[in-house]
Amino acid sequence: MSPSVETPHTLEYRMEKPPLSNEDYMAVTPETQLGSLAGEDGQEGVVEPPARDGWDSKVEYFLAQVGFSVGLGNVWRFPYLCHQNGGGAFLLLYVLLMILVGIPLFFLELAAGQSIRQGSIGVWKHISPKLAGIGYSSCVVCFFVALYYNVIIGWSLFYLGNSFQYPLPWQECPEHGNITVKECEASGATTYFWFRKALNITDSINEMGEFNLVITCCLLAAWTIVCLGMFKGIKSSAKVMYFSSVFPYVVLLCFLIRGLMLEGAAEGIKYMFYPKLEIWGEVQVWRQAATQVFFALGLGFGSVIAYSSYNPRSNNCHRDALTVSTINFLTSVLATLVVFAVLGFRAREVAMRCVTQNLEKLSEQFSVGPLDRDLLPVFNISDPSLDLLEAYREWFNVHGAKVPGNLTDCSLENVMNKGVEGTGLAFIAFTEAMTLFPGSPFWSALFFLMLLNLGLSTMFGTMEGILTPLTDNFKVLKRHKTILTVCSCIIGFLIGMLFTQRCGNYFVMMFDDYSATLPLIIVVVFECFSVSWVYGADRFLDDIEKMLHWRPPVVYKYLWKYVCLLAMLGLLGASLLKMCFKRPTYTAWNRETASEVTLDYPDWALGVLAVLIIFATLPVPLGYIHSTLRNRARRNSIGSGLGTDMGGVYTKCSTVECDTPVAALLDEHLERNRIPKDSPSPLGEENLRLLPQREGAEDIEDSTSV
């Protein structure tokens, strides 16, 4: 709440809520200290910050928020986790954690950004200057993520460009002199194309190799698209969102309809949803579910705060939190249905090839030597009504062990159990399945165009999580935001060339697994603690009530203070224990064996991991130390100066022109921060009340009238 102006010569002080400690307010400037978020009479009492860009419509904001939260992880991470961790049981666990942890924290970030109307740095500086480091940590993590995320967009561009030919280049193994390439024959056409043609990958992270020129050009194209989309901030990126946020849903629905028409789709979906409730007793499953909730909503990046800061204060951010979270979950389920329908079809095709090969082996055994006819299959292969796979499995379970030739059980479940995630799902398994579709180039182009748009909508949000906080807190950068955007993209491309080396995929995995997870969890722990305990959950709910004109349920207070905070601390502890007790590993491609192998990170790579994590989290303690030392130095220097020159004595005066310390300090404050003297609230409530203390005075009681 701000002091009301009674007359041109009188300032009346009113307090509505207890302020934070004096130290916390000493470094706050009017740009970040907005006083109370709303006045007693709602909108009339709102102290608006300087003019700020805004969304042209609620639709633009909604598409931007959904586009950022719904990313590649919904398509290639969630289905894998669901598949590996109990199917339907994992879905129930995910929903539980989404309700208890995800939605409350998402609502917290939306409300904080919308009410304070600053990026992540400004929001946490508003809570307390000592917490400004939280915002800087969010910016660092966003930068790390943007570096490797755009490489994935570059890969999608590469595959998209190769989709406009028939047959697809990854459909068949290449031949050299009528001899099939050994590596491709041993691994498969799609796997060979990914590791050898697209990445030309080395055998380990220790083998750097030269730059992959084609992928480097694709990365340059990806950064160019991002730069053009972000050229005018949300004014330009919001227009792109109309396509990039909606198009993936069109593609997913097309794939779902096509997938459900494929043989084997029903088995794939049934396999996914079959519940295994015993997994609820495994700590690892809870950790993975909580991590997925955490990343699915984009918590801690600062992008949610940045996007909501462009909203009017009257916007119903509580409804937005519920709606976006629900859409995010339903999108994950939709993507999982699509993935398992298509992978079910692929698994059946693989199993049928297995049956055909085994029957050929059996025929060879019968032609070479005598074989008991009772051991031979009795089913008719040419019968169209016969389920050949099921008939073969029934025969194998009875006679398979008695027949020579090392026949195998062609199990659909065994194929489905070989779960794949991330790039393995998108660029190998799903790509292989699409080669079996009629009109495969069309479906391939559609799929990789979907990945491209999913990646771009998330990249726009990630970049906004960097640019908005910096331009909000540094006036020079705000005046040259376009130059900042272009320079950020150029720097991102130059550093991102690390990932276009032949070993670049290993660095992508390193950044994806370690550069963001731990720092973001730490950031969200501090966010939750800052709002619920430093600022006060009740106080925050009061501010939301004045902003929205209705009070959110009190259950949020207890969720923020206890459930969310304890859950994030538990997730932090589990992640630290995993890193400490199990040496970090990565999956490498061995050219000789044409297979993936798990290797330990070398010592120098562990050093890089440690530097990434420390660099991302270091702003939090540095911000606290910097604010504390700055406040102490300011008190000492100003107190000493006033004590020498004025003796710390204040006298009353009756005119604004009076040259007393209080009036002089007020004029100096207004001039320094370019605040009009007739402003209804030139100072935040606590700033004004503490002004003499900030400038070294000891008593204000006799000097409140000027």
Write the pLDDT tens digit of every residue in 185-227. 888 888 899 999 999 999 999 988 789 999 999 999 999 999 9
Task: Determine if the peptide bond prior to 167 is cis (ω within 30°).
Answer: yes
With 80 as the cut, is the pLDDT of residue 404 above it? no
Q: How many CA atoms lie within 13 A of 697 on its CB side?
A: 21
Are 675 and 650 within 8 A, CB to CB? no
Q: Distance (Å, rounded) from C-alpha 27 to C-alpha 682? A: 16
Name the residue with tokens 């699915």.
296
Q: Distance (Å, rounded) from C-alpha 271 to C-alpha 264? A: 11
Q: Cβ-count burial of 71 within 10 angstroms (0-12 exposed, 13-18 middle, 19+ buried)?
A: buried
Band (pLDDT 50/70/90 cuts) for residue 417 is low
The pLDDT score that the predictor gives to residue 460 is 93
Q: Of 108, 112, 107, whose CA–CA distance to 323 is shortest?
A: 107
The pLDDT score that the predictor gives to residue 263 is 78
The pLDDT score that the predictor gives to residue 374 is 63
The pLDDT score that the predictor gives to residue 676 is 56
The pLDDT score that the predictor gives to residue 305 is 93
Torsion of CA 387, 393, 394, 397, to 10 degrees: 180
Q: Distance (Å, rounded) from C-alpha 425 to C-alpha 72? A: 11
The pLDDT score that the predictor gives to residue 574 is 86
The pLDDT score that the predictor gives to residue 407 is 74
Of residues 429 and 565, the one with the higher pLDDT is: 565
Beta bridge partners of 596: 589
Which helix (H) or strand (E) segment is 254 a member of? helix 247-260
Q: Distance (Å, rounded) from C-alpha 76 to C-alpha 336? A: 8
Give me the residue spans of the domains in the chain: 58-351+418-584+600-632
| Residue 252 marked in a binding site | no
Band (pLDDT 50/70/90 cuts) for residue 5 is very low
Of residues 398 and 262, the one with the higher pLDDT is: 262
pLDDT, tens only, 67-107: 998 888 888 888 888 877 767 788 888 899 999 999 999 99
The pLDDT score that the predictor gives to residue 378 is 65
Q: What is the CA radius of gyration of the chain?
A: 31
The pLDDT score that the predictor gives to residue 677 is 52
With 90 as the cut, is the pLDDT of residue 497 above it? yes
Name the residue with tokens 């955007």.
485
Of residues 35 and 527, the one with the higher pLDDT is: 527
Beta bridge partners of 704: none
| Residue 67 marked in a binding site | yes
The pTM for the full model equals 0.79
Q: Distance (Å, rounded) from C-alpha 283 to C-alpha 493? A: 39
Q: Distance (Å, rounded) from C-alpha 124 to C-alpha 103? A: 20
Using N-to-C axis directions, what is the helix angle for 619-645 and 132-162, rounded to 10°?
Answer: 140
With 90 as the cut, is the pLDDT of residue 321 above it? yes
Name the residue with tokens 């929205």.
548
- How much of the chain exceeds pLDDT 70, in percent? 77
Contacts of 450 (CB under 8 A, 6+ apart): 247, 248, 251, 252
Band (pLDDT 50/70/90 cuts) for residue 26 is very low
The pLDDT score that the predictor gives to residue 389 is 73
With 70 as the cut, is the pLDDT of residue 439 above it? yes
Q: What single-letter DSSP state applies at residue 553?
A: P
Q: Distance (Å, rounded) from C-alpha 526 to C-alpha 124? A: 10
- How much of the chain exceeds pLDDT 90, in percent? 33
The pLDDT score that the predictor gives to residue 148 is 92
Of residues 395 and 168, the one with the higher pLDDT is: 168
pLDDT, tens only, 519-555: 889 999 999 999 999 889 999 999 999 998 899 999 9
The pLDDT score that the predictor gives to residue 339 is 84
pLDDT, averaged across the chain = 79
Q: Cβ-count burial of 148 within 10 angstroms (0-12 exposed, 13-18 middle, 19+ buried)?
A: buried
Backbone angles phi, psi at 136, to 5 degrees: -65, -35
| Residue 74 marked in a binding site | yes
SS3 73: helix
pLDDT, tens only, 617-674: 999 999 999 988 988 888 887 766 554 444 444 444 444 444 444 455 555 555 555 5
The pLDDT score that the predictor gives to residue 2 is 37
Lookup: tokens for 667: 């004029």
Q: How many CA atoms lie within 13 A of 113 on its CB side?
A: 35
Q: What share of the chain is helix, strand, coil (3-state, %, to 5)?
A: 70, 5, 30
With 70 as the cut, is the pLDDT of residue 159 above it? yes
With 90 as the cut, is the pLDDT of residue 307 above it? yes
Q: Distance (Å, rounded) from C-alpha 293 to C-alpha 291? A: 5
pLDDT, tens only, 663-685: 555 555 555 555 555 554 444 44
Of residues 41 and 125, the one with the higher pLDDT is: 125
Band (pLDDT 50/70/90 cuts) for residue 244 is confident
With 90 as the cut, is the pLDDT of residue 41 above it? no
With 60 as the cut, is the pLDDT of residue 280 above it? yes
Count other C-beta atoms under 10 Å from residue 135's C-beta.
Answer: 29
The pLDDT score that the predictor gives to residue 8 is 36
With 70 as the cut, is the pLDDT of residue 265 above it? yes
The pLDDT score that the predictor gives to residue 368 is 62
Lookup: tokens for 634: 């300011």
The pLDDT score that the predictor gives to residue 72 is 86
Lookup: tokens for 666: 């007020």
Do the bridges between strand 179-180 and strand 10-12 make them parallel or antiparallel, or are there none, so unpaired? unpaired
| Residue 178 marked in a binding site | no
CATH level 2 (architecture), domain 58-351+418-584+600-632? Up-down Bundle (1.20)
